[in-house]
Chains A and B, each alone.
Chain A
Amino acid sequence: MEDESLNPLRRMSSRTRKVAPKMVAALTSSDNRTQAVLARLEALENDNAGTEVGDLIDDDDASLDDEDDDGYMHKKQSKSTKRKTRQAKALENARKAPRTFIELLHEANLESLPPHIPSYSRAAVGPPSSTSRRHFCTVCGFTATYTCVRCGMRFCCRRCQNIHNDTRCLKFVA
């Protein structure tokens, strides 16, 4: 709209204006898609991590019980101080918790090195020379010719499309 007011002589097709908000939506959704791709690549490095949280809680409970016992054994006063240390301990645990490699990498600040020094980030092989990419059907694994208009995943035929729509369309968002 601003453009029009600045330059009234320029002819604008009504269609472009109609399309623009859709394009904006498409752009953001493609951003979502790249994020989904990145998240998926990230997930390829995961272990069976979901259960670990439960384990930590278990450990905490066990240690808390011990502390409570200690508290009863000693004076009543000490119990309040124990409570504080419990919190402090949780904080300390959070600090001591192993950091991921990515965090350590950020911390090391490799970008500050002069460009002639080889480093972890410079050793990455870099983008492929040809940009062509083969697409495989997410349902059956064969060469996929179609893209889902909603989520961008690939499928190869009508049958796979139905399975895709029923079971996994937009599932990567959740």
Chain B
Amino acid sequence: MPLHPTFPLPDESISAFAGAMCSVVVLDNGGGLIKAGHGGDLDPTAVLPNCLLRPLSSKKFLHPDPLHSSSAAALDLTSAAVRRPIDRGYLINADLQRDIWAHLFANHLRVSTSSSSLLLTEPPFTLPSIQRATDELVFEDFNFKSLYVADSAALVHLYEASTSPQGLVSKAQCSLVVDCGFSFTHAVPVFQNFTLNYGVKRIDLGGKALTNYLKELVSYRSISVMDESFLMDDVKEKLCFVSLDVDRDLQLARKPGWDNLFRCTYVLPDGVSHTKGFVKDPEAARRYLKSTDESHLIGGTIIDVEKPESAEDRKRIDLTKNEFDLTNERFLVPEMIFQPADLGMNQAGLAECIVRAINSCHPHLHPVLYESIILTGGSTLFPQFAERLERELRPLVPDYYQVKITTQQDPILGVWRGGSLLASSPDFEAMCVTKAEYEEMGSARCRRRFLR
């Protein structure tokens, strides 16, 4: 068994180690986004969609550009076909992944794989056949010097513990990581940098399902967008939010015209003047936040916000038919994470998922776990996610326990940053499996070293 590092490390030592060591590639291989960079860095070098794309303008599948780069805005992704190497969170298409990684290592990271180590994240309970395929990919196709397979929850825990050395997470060395990502949602208890795998609970709902659900709703109700994954991703990220009181908000969403705080128009790209869609009135899109503190809204007193000249607005809607309105869809979509039963799924919601994960741990851990819930993953970025979770969780938890939910600074990069921290720790090399060991012992034996 490898020594596990004694964290938290002070910040200075990280940068010192980063310079001294040979390069470690840290790769958080998510179903939606790859987060890749060099160990010891603060932020990943490249964050890009983990897929190949074929826009309408092209006959071949292309590599996507990293997010927030200038070239990413240029590519028109309307009705682009997508191929993803990851299905339901697990790597199933190694050939496709090899293509994507090769492009990533050569063009974005610019590393030679044969002289570096790899820190790779893997979801809990990866099937042995998938692990074998991953090992083959890493050692036989890319010739990495050594490999460490990390649990993303443990990395998040590590990062959180290091950012606040005086906090409960680092003192008790124990936390409950809620990872609500692209493919699925996990509640994972972490104890002393190890995940307690008997406590892991999963909901089969993630950002991808939510986007598809929104697609379905919009296609039924206004315009067919069944092929526009990237567009609807954008709509979801910009307009969806978590409702704190669904019944009340549903009633509010019935109101006509400007009284309706949730109505919001999204303009579709026209392919000429703009290739990206955008929210027509971002100010109006944020009005729902005002409704949350005012509980007397139903009574009829609406805060006076000056109305824009609605006549002109409506005229524009009629002229160009390329926009659609969202009202209750905005909060009914993220609602599914809290109540998957509404979709017809036979699974409990997120709050119950957390309670079950904690209840399967030792009772001594319960108070600490409830007090150190860490939210990570892109789907936790919906506004009011943490507040709603706390409201649902509180009645389910015995009242002598405190509930404290921590949100991460950047939930998408949280796992990667933890990985970067781990890669820059002094005994990282000792924890790895080297290529020679892999060739001698094979995949299954090597995996035991990661306690998986």
Contact = CB atoms under 8 A, between A and B. Distances in A.
B449 interface: no
A45 B197 contact: no
Interface residues of B, number: 67
B95 A105 contact: no
Interface string B330-373: 00100000011111111111001100100000000000000000
Given A48-B79, A105-B127, A119-B125, A129 B348 contact: yes
B401 interface: no
Contacts of B208: 44-45
Given A104-B127, A120-B127, A143-B250, A41 B343 contact: yes
Given A48-B227, A58-B59, A125-B347, A142 B328 contact: yes
A128 B349 contact: yes
B342 A47 contact: no
B130 A104 contact: yes
A124 B54 CA distance: 34
A118 B348 contact: no
Nearest to A138: B220
Main secondary structure of the interface of A (DSSP, over half): loop
A128 B341 contact: yes
Contact of A44 (B83, B127, B209, B346): B209
Interface in B168-215: 186-187, 197-198, 200-204, 208-209, 212-213
B81 A136 contact: no
A126 B356 contact: yes
B82 A125 contact: no
Interface in B83-97: 83-84, 87-90, 92-96
Interface string A94-125: 00001111101101100000000011100111
Interface in A45-104: 45-52, 55, 58, 98-102, 104
B229 interface: yes
Contacts of B81: 47-49, 51-52, 55
Contacts, number: 133
A37 interface: yes
Contacts of A120: 125, 127
Contacts of A50: 227
B83 A47 contact: yes
B90 to A, nearest CB: 5
Contact of A124 (B84, B128, B217, B347): B347
B388 to A, nearest CB: 15
B328 A125 contact: no
A108 to B, nearest CB: 5
Main secondary structure of the interface of B (DSSP, over half): mixed
Contact of B332 (A37, A102, A139, A141): A141
B250 A142 contact: yes
Contacts of B352: 125, 128-129
A113 to B, nearest CB: 11
Contacts of B345: 41
B152 to A, nearest CB: 14
B332 A44 contact: no
* Central interface residue in A55, A108, A125, by most chain B CB within 10 Å: A125
Contact of A136 (B204, B227, B332): B332
A134 B339 contact: yes
Nearest to B186: A123
Interface of A: 37, 40-41, 43-52, 55, 58, 98-102, 104-105, 107-108, 118-120, 123-129, 133-136, 138-143, 168
Interface of B: 51, 54, 59, 61, 79-84, 87-90, 92-96, 124-125, 127-130, 186-187, 197-198, 200-204, 208-209, 212-213, 216-217, 220-221, 227, 229, 246-247, 250, 253-254, 327-329, 332, 339-349, 352-353, 356
26 contacts: A41-B343, A44-B208, A44-B212, A45-B208, A48-B79, A55-B61, A98-B94, A98-B95, A100-B87, A118-B125, A118-B200, A120-B125, A123-B125, A123-B201, A125-B187, A125-B203, A125-B352, A128-B340, A129-B352, A134-B246, A135-B342, A141-B328, A142-B250, A142-B328, A143-B250, A168-B220
